[in-house]
Amino acid sequence: MTDVPVITVDGPSGSGKGTVSQQLAVSLGWHYLDSGAIYRALAYAAKQAGLKLNKDKEKIVSLALALKLVFKPTADGGADVLLAGTDISSSIRTEECGAMASKLAADGDIRAALLQRQRGFRQPPGLVADGRDMGTVVFPDATHKFFLTASAQIRAERRYKQLKDKGINDSIPRLFTVISKRDARDAGRTNSPMTPAADAIVLDTSEMSLEQVIGYVRQQVGYQSL
Ligand code: C5P
């Protein structure tokens, strides 16, 4: 499937990569991969099964390989996340689930177990993939690579609004702390650390509106008319 084009959008939480990727995928009529949701779903399933990383690592790897995960596309370009038929879309969005996902995601064997699943999303006519290592590890031959950043304060504020829209109540200072901790873990790990690919365009979105970011990305990709 290497002739199927891929656009990767990596970056820390709250950088806007999810919304930008979704909207880009809708404009292009391409598939969309929210790779973070896979890590979150695994963390959720591991917790449900009472598995702990420090003592059940092999079981978590087996769970990762066998995870009955389905993404059901929604009208806004996103997807409902179904685990063995149960909709877990909201349950996996909490920062607690994000932190658990980040701990599992630091393990090389767990990442390896999820690799082919992610590459399987590369289907015609194309794929927009968002995550931390889309441009560096999962789709190193992507057509276009972006790495979106924003200040930690702005990212915490965006996350707060995002969660509120999903009916989850949190506070900006608390989100600032947990997000900063999660990003430090994601950037500092040995296996597939969150870092821009050498050929990625790095964009600081702190002072940009969503429309401006999408406009910029479209321009770079060469689909301005969409
Ligand atoms: O993107 P999201 O915040 O949903 O991702 C949750 C966690 O999953 C991240 O903090 C990161 O640890 C992990 N992840 C990853 N590689 C990806 C996507 C997500 O390690 N490609």
Q: What would the pLDDT profile of 10-53 be if each residue is shown by its tens digit?
A: 999 889 999 999 999 999 999 999 999 999 999 999 999 999 99
Helix, strand and coil percent figures for the chain, each rounded to 5 = 50, 15, 35
The atom number, within ligand 1, closest to the CA of 98 reads 6
- How many CB atoms neighbour CB 53 within 10 A? 15
If you take atom 6 of ligand 1, which residue's CA is the nearest one?
36
If you take atom 16 of ligand 1, which residue's CA is the nearest one?
132
If you take atom 14 of ligand 1, which residue's CA is the nearest one?
36
Bridge partners of 23? none
Domain-embedded: residue 77: yes
Map tokens 């950088």 to a residue. Answer: 15
Domain-embedded: residue 226: no
Percentage of the chain exceeding pLDDT 90: 85
The atom number, within ligand 1, closest to the CA of 104 reads 12
- For the chain, what is the radius of gyration of the CA atoms? 17
Parent domain of 196: 6-217
| Residue 102 scores a pLDDT above 60 | yes
Domain-embedded: residue 1: no
Q: C-alpha angle with apex 178: 147 to 197, nearest 5 degrees? A: 15
Domain-embedded: residue 115: yes
CA of 225 to the centre of ligand 1 (A): 31
Grade residue 148 by pLDDT with cuts at 50, 70 and 90: very high
If you take atom 12 of ligand 1, which residue's CA is the nearest one?
102
Instruction: Please give the full DSSP string across 88-117, using - where no structure is assigned.
Output: -TTGGGSHHHHHHHHHHHT-HHHHHHHHHH
Domain-embedded: residue 51: yes
| Distance, CA of 39 to CA of 92 (rounded, Å) | 9
Q: How many structural domains is the chain composed of? A: 1
Domain-embedded: residue 222: no
Query: What pLDDT was estimated at residue 42?
Result: 98
Query: What pLDDT was estimated at residue 167?
Result: 85
Q: What is the mean pLDDT of the chain?
A: 94
Read off the pTM.
Answer: 0.95
Domain-embedded: residue 109: yes
Grade residue 1 by pLDDT with cuts at 50, 70 and 90: low
- Phi/psi of residue 31, nearest 5 degrees: -75, 160
Domain-embedded: residue 225: no
Best mutation site among 20, 35, 39 for ligand 1 pocket (most ligand atoms within 8 Å of CB): 39
* CA count, 13 A, side-chain hemisphere, 143: 15
The tokens for 191 are 């296996």
| CATH number of the domain enclosing 112 | 3.40.50.300
